[in-house]
Amino acid sequence: MSKEKFQNMRLFERMAVRLANHIGISEEQYFECLKPALQSYFKHLRYADIVGPLIRYDHSENKMSLQQIATKYHVSVRTVRYALEKGMPNRGTESTE
């Protein structure tokens, strides 16, 4: 596995854990510690599906700017805008924009 793919996978896993904690379905801190069924569920989602709710939370509750959110989640400002406007992740977004 290339270094970039490995980094993308680790980012995906970190955000999956963050989402699981955010919505109250887990208190684990590492992807490997999540229940196997939850790991499997997350593996079927795209990165944009996972960070969408986190983007909306950071914008509304933490009052973060679009640029701050884009930097935090490694996505484009356009993706952040789309997630905020549509209430769902951008279907055409790659995981590492």
Question: What's the pLDDT at 1?
Answer: 86
Provide the pLDDT confidence category of residue 97 given band limits of 50, 70 and 90: very low
**66 neighbors 83 (Cβ within 8 angstroms):** no
- Interior/surface letters 30-60, b for 16+ CB within 10 angstroms, e for the rest: ebeebeeebbeebeeeebbbbbbbbbbebbe
What's the confidence (pLDDT) of residue 25?
A: 97
85: tokens are: 């406007």
Task: Please write the tens of the pLDDT for every residue from 16-70.
Answer: 999 999 999 999 999 999 999 999 999 999 999 999 999 999 999 999 999 999 9
**Encoded tokens for 73:** 């989640």
Read off the pTM. 0.82
Residue 13 has pLDDT above 80, yes or no: yes
DSSP class of residue 31 equals: G
